[in-house]
Amino acid sequence: MAGSFGSINTALSGLRYNQVALDVAGNNIANASTDGYVRRRVVGASVSSAQAALWSRYDGHGEGVAVGEVRRMTDPLLDARVRREHGLLSYLSTSRTILARVEEGVGEPGPNGVHAAMLDLRNAWQDLSLNPGGTAARQQVLGRAETLAQALRSQVANITGEEADQRVNATNLVSEVNTAASGLAALNHDILVTEQNGTDAGVLRDRRDQLALRLAELTGAVTTVESDGQFTVSVAGTALVQGKEAGAFVLASGITPTGGADGSPISYRIDASWGSTVLPSGSAGPSGELGAVTEILTTTLPSYRAGLDAVAADLAASVNAQQAAGYDATGAAGGPLFGYDPLVGAASLQVVITDPARLAASSVGGGALDGGNADLLSRVGTYPDAYQRLVNGLGTDVAALDRRTANQVALAGALDDAREQQAGVNLDEETVNMVTAQRAYEAAARLLTTLDEVLDTLINRTGLVGR
C-alpha cells in the first residue's frame, strides 16, 4: 500500500510490534528467577502486499512489521542431553547417598566396630590361655563374645532397616512417576489445543519440560519430540506417555503396596491402552533414582548381608569346632560357644554359654589348668580377614561412586550452564531489548506525528496561496 495514509498503518505496525517487544522483555524480567522459565524473544516479520504475478505492480516499499512469533529460546538437542545426564546423575547420587549411609552405620575403622570386637575377643582368649583358671579372664571372654555377636547383629539390623526404607522409597518414587506422567500427558493435550486456537503455550511448554526432566531423573526416561510437537516418553524402551495418554507405571513384584518384601525379584510393568509390558531388569531396566534404589535392593545390600552371614558362619563354626576339641574347667568336652542358624544368617548369632567354667580353655581333660586350647581359639577362623575384605569392598564402592558422581556433577553442571545461557534470563540483555523497543516505539510515534503534519499541510493548506 503506497501513499500518505498507507504510511500511517506502517507507523501503527511499528507501535504495535514494539509494544509487544516491551511486553515480552518485561515478562522475561518478571520471571528471571522462576524455575523452569525459558526466556522469549520476539521475532519480527516484514509486511508487504506485493504479489508475485504477471503484470502485477507494487509501488510501495513495505508495509511495516508484524509479530512473526514469540520464540522460546530452547535447543531441543541440548534439552535432550540435559535430561540424559541428569538421569545418570540421579542414579549415581542416589546410589552414593544410600551406600554412604550404610558405610556410616558400619563404623569402620573405629573402636566400636565389628573388627575391633573381633580383635578384643581374640585378645581375651589369649589372656585366658595365660590364666586358664581365672574366673575374670573367663568372664571377659564371654563378655567380648557377646559384644561381637551384638555388633554383627547390629550391622544386619542396619542393613534390614535400610532395605525397608528403600522399599518404601521405591513405592513413593513409583507414585511420583505416575503423577508426573499424567501431568505431562495432560500438558501435551493442553498445548496442542492452545496452539491450535492460536494462543501462546509457552508457559505450558515450560511446565512440560520440567516434568520431562523430572521423569528422566526418576527413571532415566527418554523423551522424543513428535512431528506435531507432542512429547513421547519411554522408560527402558517402553512408552509411558504418548500424546494425551499416560500409562500406569506399576511395581509388578518384589515389593508389596505397604512397602514389605514379597520374596520375589523386583520388577516393573507399564500398563497402557497400547499394551502391558514388563520392563527388563538390570542395566536395561529403569535408571535414575528408581534404578539406583532397585539395584541397591536387588544386588548391593543383599551382597553385603551375605558377606556378614559368611563372616558370622565362619566365626561360629571355627570357634565351636575348636571348643569341641578342648575341655572346660570341669574336665568335660567343650560345647558350642555361639548359636547360629544358617537359614537366618548373622542376625541369629548369639552366645549360648552362660557359665564361664564351660569355656574349653584346656587342651587336656580332667580339669587341668591348661590354656592350650584357648591359645588355639585366639587364632582359629578367617573371619577377621573376611570381614575386613567385606568392609574394604564397601568403602571401595563408595569411593568409586564419589568419583563418578563428582565427574557427573561437573558434566551436568556444564550442560546446565549452557542451557542457562540459551534459555535463562539475562537482565542486561533484557534491558538493552527494552531500550531498543522504547526507542523504536518513539521513532514510530515520531513517524506518525510527521505524517500528521504532512497530511495537515496537504489537506488544510494546499490551495491557500493568494487568499
Q: Which of 215, 279, 266, 262 is nearest to 241 (CA)?
A: 215
Query: CB–CB of 180/214 below 8 Å?
Result: yes
- pLDDT for position 369: 79
pLDDT in tens, 268-317: 999 999 999 999 998 899 999 999 999 999 999 999 999 999 999 999 99
Distance from the Cα of residue 255 to its chain's centroid: 20
The pLDDT score that the predictor gives to residue 2 is 56
Sign for the pseudo-dihedral over CA of 180, 183, 189, 194: negative
pLDDT at 377: 95
Which residue matches cell numbers 531489548?
433
Sign of CA pseudo-dihedral 111, 117, 119, 120: positive
pTM for the model stands at 0.88
What is the distance, to the nearest Å, from the Cα of residue 187 to the centroid of all Cα atoms in its chain?
23
- The closest of 220, 224, 231 to 183, measured between CA atoms, is 231
Cell matching residue 276: 502391558
Residues in contact with 334: Cβ distance below 8 Å, sequence separation at least 6, in sequence order: 322, 323, 324, 325, 326, 327, 328, 358, 359, 360, 373
Pairing of strands 350-351, 248-253: unpaired
Q: Report the candidate in 274, 364, 286 with the shortest Cα–Cα distance to residue 325.
A: 364
Could you tell me whether strands 65-72 and 275-278 are parallel, antiparallel, or unpaired per DSSP bridges? unpaired
Contact yes or no for 231/242 (Cβ under 8 A): no
Q: What is the pLDDT of residue 48?
A: 79
Residue ranges of the chain whose pLDDT lies below 70: 1-4, 58, 465-467
Q: In this structure, are residues 375 and 137 in contact, taking their beta carbons and an 8 Å threshold? A: no
Phi, psi of 255 (to 5 degrees): -135, 130
Q: Positive or negative, the Cα torsion across 25, 30, 32, 37? A: negative
Distances (CA, A) of 53 to 6, 46, 47, 57: 22, 20, 18, 9
Report yes or no: 235 and 249 within 8 Å, Cβ to Cβ.
Answer: yes
